[in-house]
Amino acid sequence: MEERKGRRIIMFPLPFPGHFNPMIELAGIFHHRGFSVTILHTSYNFPDPSRHPHFTFRTISHNKEGEEDPLSQSETSSMDLIVLVRRLKQCYAEPFRKSVAAEVGGGETVCCLVSDAIWGKNTEVVAEEIGVRRVVLRTGGASSFCAFAAFPLLRDKGYLPIQDSRLDEPVTELPPLKVKDLPVMETNEPEELYRVVNDMVEGAKSSSGVIWNTFEDLERLSLMNCSSKLQVPFFPIGPFHKYSEDPTPKTENKEDTDWLDKQDPQSVVYASFGSLEAIEEKEFLEIAWGLRNSERPFLWVVRPGSVRGTEWLESLPLGFMENIGDKGKIVKWANQLEVLAHPAVGAFWTHCGWNSTLESICEGVPMICTSCFTDQHVNARYIVDVWRVGMLLERSKMEKKEIEKVLRSVMMEKGDGLRERSLKLKERADFCLSKDGSSSKYLDKLVSHVLSFDS
């Protein structure tokens, strides 16, 4: 590791696993290059710092004494995600400003602030005020960002808001997307979604650079497109999680990998729909029967509370799991990186969150794509039609017969070379991190860029 004593980077992640994980991985990358890292984290979803001993953690608190907490568990558990993001931005704007000011006033030179793109332009205003440069981390892909950046155009042209009668129409300005792939979500406040997206894009435009958790060979055209729109330095240095041999601490509970050890190579369907998604009980039961009827071994992550109106598995028919026996396993959380790297896993049934997408690509595991909201729709379209490493199983068609059919065809290699292409794409991902690979070169540029700020 190179030594850059006295060079500190302040990071401000969005407090959700899909955003926090890549930020902490990026912290590890900077740390390996000799920087020290301070993580400013919201008191909301505050992580366990002992899992990340190399970094200094500071809590940013939002709660005013004597007032009710607008971000309490009871307030937020069933909150519309867009409303929650707005709340987070409102509640933490001022505490964030104070925290950064306190950090920058300390002894060590602060090179820059790295903030999650979703925090938007406010972080730029604060950075300017305090006299520190700001770089943005975009935790999603470049292809979906292009679609986000095109929202004003898509609204002008009448693609947005989406009309049910146009779902299958191509969006000619953003091939290969169809109207149904546009990165929107069900929300009670559609205008708020546009505001959050616009703030993200404008915040990236006014930054001193954007770091992408992607690699050039995967998203070259989209990166070029974003670059011409944003006109700031670009650093596609991903996939972040591959920099470290052991990026996440191993789970104490080795239950899932022990079970995988007993399965045949490439025989298991791993099903997981990310850290945020909630489904209806009816969908849950269709998934359960679909998995069972496919007669493939499965490892299925069902987060407690992720099936609406239930605690965990109580809506499964009596004896369902006993009947399946050792052929299937349901867990509350898995160490996904370990699971995807396990030789027994033959396919990943995913919601196509960007981290899950990259993690699957990096292990050469074909995907079954059931996207739920925002960028996941774009990711699914690219997985299926551009990289051709997955099959679509649309949420609206998620019914047990269809599930069984798609699962079987992917697992029985009727997937038309899916596995071969997945392994080829894995090789390209491996190469980008080699000494001559694009991500390694961009990382060198990023380090020089950040060091140039205080000269």
Interface contacts to ligand UDP, rule CB under 6 A = 16-18, 21, 272, 274-276, 301, 333-337, 353-356, 359
Residue nearest to ligand UDP (CB): 18
Neighbouring C-alpha atoms within 13 Å toward the C-beta of 311: 1
Between 339 and 450, name the residue whose CB sits nearer to ligand UDP: 339
- Of 99 and 213, the one with the shorter C-beta distance to ligand UDP is 213
Q: Give how far Cα 262 sits from Cα of 253, 326, 345, 374, 407, Å.
A: 16, 9, 11, 37, 21
In the bound state with ligand UDP, the residue whose beta carbon lies nearer, of 359 and 363, is: 359
Minimum distance of ligand UDP from residue 372's CB (angstroms): 8
Q: What is the rounded distance in angstroms from the CA atom of residue 322 to the CA atom of residue 320? A: 6
C-alpha atoms less than 13 angstroms from C-alpha of 62 in its C-beta half-sphere: 20
Contact of 6 with 109, CB cutoff 8 Å = yes
DSSP structure class, residue 382: I
Query: Nearest distance from residue 19's CB to ligand UDP, in Å?
Result: 7
Decide: residue 68, CB within 10 A, 0-12 exposed, 13-18 middle, 19+ buried.
exposed
Percent of residues in the chain assigned helix, strand, coil, to nearest 5: 45, 15, 40
- For ligand UDP, the closer CB: 100 or 268: 268
* Minimal distance, residue 353 CB to ligand UDP, in Å: 2
Smallest gap from residue 194 Cβ to ligand UDP (A): 20
Q: How far is the CB of 254 from ligand UDP (least distance, A)?
A: 14
Least distance (Å) from ligand UDP to the CB of residue 385? 20
Residue 191: Cβ within 10 Å count:
9
Strand 7-12: give its sheet, edge to edge: 56-60, 36-42, 7-12, 109-116, 133-138, 210-212, 234-236
Q: CB-wise, 84 or 126, nearer to ligand UDP? A: 84
Q: How far is the CB of 265 from ligand UDP (least distance, A)?
A: 22
Which C-beta is closer to ligand UDP: that of 335 or that of 370?
335
CB-wise, 260 or 450, nearer to ligand UDP?
A: 260
